[in-house]
């Protein structure tokens, strides 16, 4: 394992690289967030690299994107809670429950995909939180089995994605190497500046259930989530 690289201070920020993973935290994080009481996790932005399977409409694709967006959002919320299990690495702010976040967004007439392009300040004001966590996921494989998150994408979509085969269904040319690229950013609700971010690639074994894959993707970043009580 490579040794940790000492923090580099540039202007008002600190940049830390660990194990080849880009990691950033503002060097005045504690000062800027001293009065923060609550943060919200936004629906994750989903990007797909491969060609869309034949038979899927644009409406189908958007349904899948928004379903996976909610699944990643839900998982990240749960992984933060798991990271504080038994009082270890407790955080000093409340994390708005993802169901409340989704309800407030819906009540304000905001679609999941619309939230991806909205300013952090506007969403923070709507959600009445001090900061928001944005997630960006880029991958090759669509996930039809989201039932563990209480999400049903529709039987016709599942049949198209699995070619009427039982899950797991793996395309013959799908490799396991660097399947998922991730980026997470905590953005201040007042001035829109990035307070913390982490980005990395992760190998995904698509033979596993969707909830296991998604939790594995989120686990590393959630453990680095700031606001930890020292």
pLDDT confidence of residue 226: 96
Higher pLDDT, 182 or 210: 182
3 state DSSP class of 159 = helix
pLDDT band at 159; cut points 50, 70, 90:
low
Q: What is the pLDDT of residue 218?
A: 95
Q: How many CB atoms lie within 10 A of CB 115?
A: 23
CB atoms within 10 A of CB 128: 12
- Tokens coding 208: 């596993």
Q: Could you report the per-residue pLDDT of 44-97, keeping only the tens digit for each?
A: 999 987 656 667 778 878 888 898 899 999 999 999 999 998 778 899 999 999
User: Which among 78, 42, 54, 18 is positioned nearest to 199, based on CA atoms?
Assistant: 18
Cα Rg, the chain, nearest whole Å = 18
How large a percentage of the chain has pLDDT more than 70? 73
Cβ within 8 Å of residue 215, ≥6 positions away: 75, 78, 79
Res. 4 pLDDT band, cuts 50 70 90: very low
pLDDT-derived band at 150 (thresholds 50, 70, 90) equals low
**Residue 85 confidence (pLDDT):** 84
The enclosing H or E element of 25 equals strand 21-26
CB 123 within 8 A of CB 133: no
Average pLDDT across the chain, whole number: 81
Neighbours of 97 (CB within 10 A): 13
**Which pair of structure tokens corresponds to residue 27?**
């060097």
Confidence at residue 147, expressed as pLDDT on a 0 to 100 scale: 54
Neighbours of 32 (CB within 10 A): 18
Domains of the chain: 37-223 (3.40.50.10610)
Sorted by sequence, the CB contacts under 8 Å of residue 155 that are 6+ apart come out as: none
Is 174's pLDDT higher than 60? no
Rounded CA gap, 83 and 76, in Å?
Answer: 10
Q: What's the pLDDT tens digit per position in 9-50?
A: 333 333 333 345 689 999 999 999 999 999 999 999 999 876
């Amino acid at each position: 394992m490579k040794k940790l690289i000492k923090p580099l201070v540039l202007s008002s920020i600190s940049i830390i690289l660990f194990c080849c993973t880009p990691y950033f935290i503002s060097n005045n994080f504690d000062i800027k967030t001293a009065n923060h009481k609550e943060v919200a996790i936004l629906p994750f932005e989903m990007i797909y690299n491969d060609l869309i399977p034949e038979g899927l409409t644009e409406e189908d694709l958007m349904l899948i994107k928004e379903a996976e967006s909610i699944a990643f959002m839900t998982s990240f919320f749960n992984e933060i809670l798991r990271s504080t299990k038994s009082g270890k690495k407790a955080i000093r702010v409340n994390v708005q429950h993802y169901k409340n976040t989704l309800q407030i967004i819906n009540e304000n007439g905001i679609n999941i995909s619309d939230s991806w392009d909205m300013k952090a300040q506007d969403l923070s004001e709507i959600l009445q939180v001090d900061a928001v966590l944005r997630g960006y996921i880029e991958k090759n494989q669509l996930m039809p089995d989201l039932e563990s998150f209480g999400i049903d994408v529709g039987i016709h979509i599942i049949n198209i994605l699995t070619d009427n085969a039982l899950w797991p269904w793996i395309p013959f040319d799908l490799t396991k190497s660097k399947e998922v690229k991730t980026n997470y950013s905590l953005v201040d609700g007042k001035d829109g500046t990035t307070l913390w971010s982490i980005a990395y690639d992760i190998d995904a074994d698509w033979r596993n259930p969707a909830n296991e894959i998604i939790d594995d993707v989120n686990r590393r970043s959630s453990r680095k989530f700031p606001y930890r009580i020292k």
